[in-house]
Amino acid sequence: MEAVILCGGLGTRLREETEYKPKPMVEIGGRPILWHIMKIYAAYGVRDFVLCLGYRGDVIRDYFLNYRHHRADVAVELRDGTLSVLGEDDVEDWRIVLAETGAQTQTGGRLRRALRHVRGRSFFATYGDGVADVDLVRLLDFHDRMGCKATVTAVHPSSRYGEIAMDGGVVRTFRERSEEHTSELQSPCNLVC
């Protein structure tokens, strides 16, 4: 199984933190929220991730493109720019696709654009700020029983900034934030059951 993580929102509820970086890059304990989410999935054996980039996606892209070099001792050959990692290299064994899905793209569109990078027949999906204690074994069992293309983890929001409408544990629609009507229903996403 792969995990598709939605990382493209504006993060308006955390504006003081997200003016220069996307919400998934806000740190908890010295590491980005996104890293914590990926560690949770990795603990259950998921090592392939598709990150749906949007707002300030360059920050996420730079973080992972330079990840190894920021975590280890490195030697630099200035003449030709060659880099060598020195000593022990304790870096996660993850495959990460950094998928540019557009700054203004909404949830369903991000998932649709990410599909070309999903290698399996199904995948997990979550939001880039969705740090939660989710039992992924039970979630996968539910996923298999329902026969869905994707399984999305979500919480009931305390405000109406964006939410998933569910019926019997099955995603029916995504509701996007609207400037005038915060709970205005958008077109349903047909990528999930």
Contacts of 44 (CB under 8 A, 6+ apart): 136, 137
Higher pLDDT, residue 141 or 16: 141
pLDDT band of 155, cuts 50, 70, 90: low
Indicate if the pLDDT at residue 148 is higher than 70: yes
pLDDT for the residue numbered 158: 57
pLDDT for the residue numbered 124: 87
Which of 41, 23, 62 has its CA nearest to residue 125? 41
8 A C-beta contact, residue 91 and residue 71 = yes
Contacts of 171 (CB under 8 A, 6+ apart): 152, 164, 165, 189, 192, 193
CA distance 141 to 122: 13
Q: Which of 24-38, 59-73, 145-159, 169-183 has the lowest mean pLDDT?
A: 169-183
Mean pLDDT of the chain: 82
pLDDT tens readout for residues 115-134: 999 998 878 889 998 888 88
In the chain, the N- to C-terminal Cα span, in Å, equals 17
Coil, strand or helix: which one is 97? strand
Sheet holding 150-152, edge to edge: 95-100, 48-53, 2-7, 123-127, 150-152
pLDDT tens readout for residues 34-91: 999 999 999 999 999 999 999 999 999 999 999 988 888 889 999 998 988 887 767 8
Report the range out of 3-7, 10-14, 132-136 with the highest average pLDDT.
Answer: 3-7
Distance of CA 180 to the CA centre of its chain: 27
Which of 90, 7, 104, 9 has its CA nearest to residue 50? 7
DSSP state of 30: T
- Residue ranges of E strands in the chain: 2-7, 27-28, 31-32, 48-53, 73-77, 82-86, 95-100, 123-127, 150-152, 162-167, 170-176
pLDDT band of 154, cuts 50, 70, 90: low
